[in-house]
Amino acid sequence: MLKLGVNIDHVATVREARYRGRGFGEPDPVAAARIAEAAGAHGITAHLREDRRHIQDRDVWQLREVVKTRLNLEMANAPEIVEIAEKLKPEIVCIVPERRLEVTTEGGLDVIAAEKALTETRQRMSDAGIEVSLFIAPDEKQIQASARTGAQFIELHTGTFAEHFDDEAKRAVELKRLVTGAQLAHSLGLKVNAGHGLNYANLATLFQVPHLVELNIGHSLVSRAVFVGMETAVKEMLALMKNYRG
């Protein structure tokens, strides 16, 4: 069964637009997490960025108290955040690149360039009982480097696939890269997640990619929830995901 991890970052984005720095406000991402879990989500994802632009420290500690499924902390490989992760003990961390000027995470990690540092962080997480996923493009060398770090998972960056979804030729190229990448990762013993830009329209096409364990989806769910509520948005996504055959 393909699992759904609900990313609640952009619930916090809306809150911070009005209540930034005030220690309270609405909408509450922790409340959104509760609703998503009750609707059937298999996990909750939150990205504690170094600049704290949306999710705040208090959010992740409250999430740790209330999440009953699987807490996935997205994070940069930065000393401060690594230390928080060790104390927080989410079930899994997903290490992503961070660039201060980006609106949301764009592109995958350069695991080859940072292999030593990522391996060290993976070991620290393993020592704390936390699984590790690396957010990468579907590139053969990056996948091979990810396996060498000892990470249990990779999360394939589907942003390019989503960006070119309406261009049949470009979509086909990116879909082939994702299929090949998932096959290689699986052969190397890596579990395969995917995320970025996934929505109700492009999900069925993505299902050509084999070996997927979990999809991490945020923006499209939060956008849909504005109109129908988080419970319905999650249930609609889960209904689509039942069609995945792996």
What pLDDT was estimated at residue 220? 98
Residue ranges making up the domain that contains 220: 3-241
Q: Does a structural domain hold residue 203?
A: yes
* CA distances in angstroms from 94 to 111, 125, 152, 194, listed in the order given: 13, 11, 10, 11
Q: Does a structural domain hold residue 219?
A: yes
How far is C-alpha 26 from the geometric centre of its chain's CA atoms? 23
Residue 47 annotated as catalytic: yes
Amino acid found at 83: E
Identify the active-site residue in 10, 16, 42, 47: 47
* CATH assignment of the domain containing 85: 3.20.20.70
Q: Does a structural domain hold residue 77?
A: yes
What pLDDT was estimated at residue 96? 97
Query: pLDDT digit string (tens) for 219-231?
Result: 999 999 999 999 9
Q: Is 40 left (phi over 0), alpha (psi -120 to 50) or beta?
A: left
d(CA 106, CA 52): 17
Query: pLDDT digit string (tens) for 38-47?
Result: 999 999 999 9
What backbone phi and psi angles, to 5 degrees, belong to 192? -120, 115
What pLDDT was estimated at residue 106? 61
Q: Does a structural domain hold residue 246?
A: no
For the chain, the C-alpha Rg in angstroms (whole number) is: 17
What the block records as the tokens of 245 is 């055959």
- Span 102-111, mean pLDDT? 72
pLDDT grade for 107, boundaries at 50, 70 and 90: confident
Identify the active-site residue in 10, 16, 54, 74: 74
Q: Does a structural domain hold residue 11?
A: yes
Identify the active-site residue in 10, 54, 157, 196: 196
d(CA 68, CA 71): 8
Q: Report whether 43 contacts 70 (CB < 8 A).
A: yes
Query: pLDDT digit string (tens) for 113-130?
Result: 999 999 999 999 999 999
The answer, yes or no, to whether residue 104 has pLDDT greater than 80, is no
What pLDDT was estimated at residue 105? 52
Query: pLDDT digit string (tens) for 52-74?
Result: 999 999 999 999 999 999 999 99
Residue 10 annotated as catalytic: no
What DSSP line would sit under 147-214, residue for residue? HHHT-SEEEEE-HHHHHTTTSHHHHHHHHHHHHHHHHHHHHTT-EEEEESS--TTTHHHHTTS-SEEE
The number of distinct structural domains making up the chain is: 1
Percent of the chain with pLDDT over 70: 97
Which residues are paired to 156 by β-bridges?
A: 136, 194
* CA distances in angstroms from 199 to 2, 131, 156, 180, 186, listed in the order given: 15, 26, 15, 22, 24
Residue 211 annotated as catalytic: no
